[in-house]
Amino acid sequence: MTMSYYTLGSSGLRVTRLALGTMTFGTEWGWGADKETARVLVDAYVEAGGNFFDTADAYTGGTSETWLGEFIAERGLRGKAVIST
């Protein structure tokens, strides 16, 4: 899969047209991805060229944001990832 990029508004940020939503990262709601599965999803998305992530503190009580932050840090992507929350 080849990712397409576009400029986000007038910000100058180049983001992939396909964002990775992380609402299902965590099992606090009785369903969703465990941590290792979530990591695999992030890895596959990044390997495909993705850089635009959607998360929120309301997703699984904050687990989504916490894990995404860890995954981004582990991969050294903080300067390259665009995170909407």
Exposure class string for 1-30: b at 16+ Cβ within 10 A, else e? eeeeeeeeeeeeeebbeebbebebbbeeee
- Choose the catalytic residue: 5, 6, 45, 59: 59
Q: Can 59 be counted among the known catalytic residues?
A: yes
Catalytic residues, by residue number, are: 59
